[in-house]
């Protein structure tokens, strides 16, 4: 298993925690979107946030997160499902800012003002949506704020993405800690302090620590049980069939125009950059299907 997320619960103290290694997932996103170092860290943190949020879902449910700030990066959109499949993109993947004290300037790239929107498809008639103002524009601070104010669950979040000299991803991962209902904030206060005392998650992962060992460290001195673990990966659910249906939805006139002018249609998936080419035969097949 390359990247995975592990869950642990401290039943007596009333808390659960997810720890995820997302290094390969974030590297896949970097390669697909050809992101600059700043954009890689921002998108990688957002994808890791989506993975952590996917731990709270049930089978078949999905979560989407959108960071929309005033910075040069444009919006960041990420999604994940209960099976740990995540995908996402950033508006301007080539925007790169100088480091600030050796750290990527994610907050500057996202921008100081803006919104974080979280949409959950919980398989109910209506989508569940929550919106908060960006408080730190660094992804993890915004996610923690969302969970505390919109979901009203005090939460500890730490997310990290560390790059190699050549801009590839060295380590990426995250931790999410939440209390069980009735949400006693005291345990989260203690665990937040614990997280602050610990080395950053990317340092732990870089030192060869696995998510389960990181959870053991988070819950040092607290009785806890390591539960399920599942793989997480960058995976888009786009397909040639779906893209063809999208093309067909443009209508007969539009497709005839493409056929007469370009002779082919090339459609690029925003989320994964997969390119689908529909040649003359394909376009004629679509038109023939419409005539039926």
Binding site residues, Zn ion, CB under 5 A: 236, 238, 269, 271-272, 274
Q: Which two tokens stand for residue 258?
A: 């493409």
Question: Nearest approach, Cβ of 191 to Zn ion (angstroms)?
Answer: 37
Question: Nearest approach, Cβ of 108 to Zn ion (angstroms)?
Answer: 29
Selection from 15, 86, 88 nearest residue 53 by Cα: 86
Three-state secondary structure along 199-210? Answer: CCHHHHHHCCCC
Return d(Cα 109, Cα 76) in angstroms, integer: 11
Q: What is the CA radius of gyration of the chain?
A: 21
Residue 267: count other Cβ atoms within 10 Å of its Cβ. Answer: 16
Question: Nearest approach, Cβ of 212 to Zn ion (angstroms)?
Answer: 31
Question: Nearest approach, Cβ of 281 to Zn ion (angstroms)?
Answer: 23
Place of tokens 């919104």: 115
Q: Which is nearer to Zn ion, 227 or 246 (CB)?
A: 246
Question: Nearest approach, Cβ of 67 to Zn ion (angstroms)?
Answer: 20
Q: Which is nearer to Zn ion, 164 or 237 (CB)?
A: 237
Instruction: Tell me the angle at which helices 140-149 and 37-54 cross, rounded to the nearest 10 degrees.
Output: 30
Q: Which is nearer to Zn ion, 215 or 272 (CB)?
A: 272
Query: DSSP assignment, residue 160?
Result: E
Which backbone phi and psi does 39 adopt, to 5 degrees? -70, -35
Q: Which is nearer to Zn ion, 86 or 161 (CB)?
A: 86
Question: Nearest approach, Cβ of 270 to Zn ion (angstroms)?
Answer: 7
- Residue 227, H or E segment: strand 225-231
Q: Which is nearer to Zn ion, 57 or 272 (CB)?
A: 272
Question: Nearest approach, Cβ of 117 to Zn ion (angstroms)?
Answer: 21
Residue 258: count other Cβ atoms within 10 Å of its Cβ. Answer: 18
Q: Which is nearer to Zn ion, 32 or 229 (CB)?
A: 32
In this structure, the strands spanning 15-21 and 169-179 are antiparallel
Please name every residue paired with 274 in a beta bridge, in sequence order, or none if there are none. none
Q: Which is nearer to Zn ion, 205 or 269 (CB)?
A: 269
Q: Which two tokens stand for residue 93?
A: 């993947």
Q: Which is nearer to Zn ion, 155 or 243 (CB)?
A: 243
Task: Please check whether residue 248 is in contact with residue 259, taking contact to mean a CB–CB distance below 8 angstroms.
Answer: no
- Residue 118, H or E segment: strand 114-121
Question: Nearest approach, Cβ of 242 to Zn ion (angstroms)?
Answer: 9
């Amino acid at each position: 298993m390359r990247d995975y997320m592990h869950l642990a619960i401290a039943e007596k103290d009333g808390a659960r925690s997810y720890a995820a290694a997302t290094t390969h997932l974030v590297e896949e996103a970097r390669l697909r979107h050809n992101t600059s170092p700043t954009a890689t860290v921002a998108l990688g943190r957002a994808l890791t946030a989506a993975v952590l949020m996917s731990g709270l879902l049930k089978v078949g449910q999905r979560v989407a997160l959108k960071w929309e700030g005033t910075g040069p990066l444009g919006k960041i959109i990420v999604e994940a499902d209960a099976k740990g499949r995540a995908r996402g993109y950033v508006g301007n993947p080539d925007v790169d800012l100088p480091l600030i004290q050796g750290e990527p300037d994610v907050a500057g790239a996202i921008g100081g003002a803006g919104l974080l929107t979280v949409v959950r498809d919980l398989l109910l008639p209506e989508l569940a949506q929550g919106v908060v103002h960006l408080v730190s524009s660094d992804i993890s601070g915004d996610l923690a704020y969302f969970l505390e104010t919109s979901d009203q669950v005090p939460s500890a979040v730490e997310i990290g993405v560390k790059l190699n000299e050549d801009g590839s991803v060295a380590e990426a991962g995250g931790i999410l800690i939440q209390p069980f209902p009735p949400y006693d904030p005291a345990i989260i206060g203690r665990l937040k302090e614990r997280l602050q005392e610990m080395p950053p998650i990317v340092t732990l992962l870089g030192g060869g620590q696995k998510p389960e060992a990181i959870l053991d460290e988070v819950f040092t001195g607290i009785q806890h049980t390591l539960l399920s673990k599942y793989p997480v990966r960058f995976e888009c659910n786009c397909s040639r069939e779906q893209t063809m249906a999208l093309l067909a939805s443009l209508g007969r006139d539009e497709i005839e125009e493409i056929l007469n002018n370009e002779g082919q249609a090339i459609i690029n998936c925003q989320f994964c950059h997969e390119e689908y080419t529909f040649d003359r035969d394909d376009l004629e097949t679509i038109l023939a299907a419409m005539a039926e």
